[in-house]
Amino acid sequence: MSSLTHDISGAVLAGDRRHKARALAIWLVVVLFFSVLLSLGVGATNVSLWDAAQSMVTAQELSARDKIILYDIRLPRTAMGVLVGAALAVSGAVMQGVFRNPLADPGLVGVSAGAGLGAIAAIVLGGTLPVALAEALGYYVVPVAAFLGAWCSTLVLYRISTRRGRTSVATMLLAGIALGALAGAVSGALTYIADDAQLRTLTFWSMGSLGGATWGKLLTAAPLIILALAVSPFLAHGLNGLALGEAAAAHIGIPVQRLKNTAILMVAGATGAAVAVSGGIGFVGIVVPHLLRLIVGPDHKYLLVNSALLGAALLLCADVISRIVIAPAELPIGIVTATLGGPFFLWILLRQRGLVDM
C-alpha cells in the first residue's frame, strides 16, 4: 500500500514538474523576445523598440542612421548574444549531467580556459601558420583553435577524473583548477610575446564582449554552435539515465561511453565557438542550469531546452547593462556576468552547507 502511494505521489510530482517546465518554456520564449527587442533598441543611441519590432516583421522604412545601427551593428550583436548565451548555458547543463555534479561548468573546470588558450594561440601565432592552411581556414582559424583547445581540456579532464567508470568530483574540480592554471600560464606567455595590436585585442577579448560582433564573425561560430545545440536534445534521455550511475545506465540499455564522447564533443564545440567570438564570459553555464533545476527538476528533456532560452535571454540582458551602465563607453560583459553570478554561486555554496534556507 505504501509502495502504491509512493508511486502515485511520484507520478503526480513528475506530472507537476512537466507542467511547470512547459509553462516556463513558454514564458522564457516571451522573455527572450522582449530581450531581443531590448538589445536591438537600447544602447548609446536609442532606437524605438516599436520601430525595431515593426522593421523585423514588415520591413518598414527606417532612417539611414537607424538602418546602420539596427542591421549592421545591433542585429549581428543580438544574434551572437542569443547563440553564445544558449551555448554556454546548455554546455553547463550537459557537463553537470555527464559528471553528475551541479558544480561542473565549462568555466569552473578549465574547459573555457582551454578554449581561450586555443583562441589566444591563434591570435598571436596565426601569422606563423603555413599559407595554404591559413587560406583554407580563413576566418575560421580562431573558432577552430578554440574548439581544439576546449576539446583537449575536456578530454584530459575526463580522463583524469574518471577511473573504472566512476568520476571523482574532488579530482574533477582539482584537475579543472590545474588545467585552468596551466592554460592561464601558457596564455600569459603568449600574451607576453604579443605585439601592441595583438595585446590590445587580447585585453578586450579576455574580459568578454559582444561589441565586436559582425555578420562575418557570427558566421564563423554559428554553424558549430547551432550543430552542438541541435545535438543536445538527443542527449537528454541518456543524461537522465546517467544520473542513476554508469552501471545502472548501461544496464537499462544506454550506450554510456558513446553518450559521454558525444557530450564531450558537444560541449567542446559549443564552448570553443562561443569563447572564440565573445571571450571569457563566466557563470552563465553554472547559474542558469542551477536556477532551472530548482524550478523544473533534473529532467534533461526540459532542462536543456529551458537552459538555452534562459541563457540567451540572460546574456542579452547582461549585454544591455554593459552598454548603458557607463554609456557612451561599454563595460565588458564578463564583468557584468561575474558581478551577477558571483553572489549567486556563493548562495549555492551556503545553501548546500545549510547556512541559508532559501
Q: Are 244 and 300 in contact (CB under 8 A)?
A: no
φ/ψ of 147, rounded to 5, equals -60, -45
Contact 93, 302 (CB under 8 A): no
Q: What is the pLDDT of residues 170-201, one digit of tens each?
A: 777 788 888 888 888 888 888 888 888 777 77
Per-residue pLDDT, 307? 92
Which residues 6+ apart lie within 8 Å of 175 measured at CB?
109, 110, 156, 157, 160, 161
Number of neighbours of residue 351 by Cβ within 10 angstroms: 14
Query: What is the per-residue pLDDT across 308-333, written as a single tens digit (0 to 9) for each?
Result: 999 999 999 988 888 887 777 778 88
Split at pLDDT 50, 70, 90, the class of 11 is low
Region 330-340 average pLDDT: 82
Predicted pLDDT at 275 = 81
Q: To 10 degrees, what angle do helices 111-125 and 256-278 make?
A: 50
pLDDT at 61: 66
Residue-wise pLDDT for 79-134, tens only, equals 999 999 999 999 989 988 887 777 777 776 777 788 888 888 888 887 676 666 66
> How confident is the model at residue 64, as a pLDDT?
72
Is residue 2 over pLDDT 60?
A: no
Closest of 154, 155, 133 to residue 144, by C-alpha: 133
Rounded CA separation 323/331 (Å) = 6
Distance CA 302, CA 22 (A): 8
How far, in Å, CA of 104 to CA of 111, rounded? 10
**pLDDT (0 to 100) of residue 311:** 92
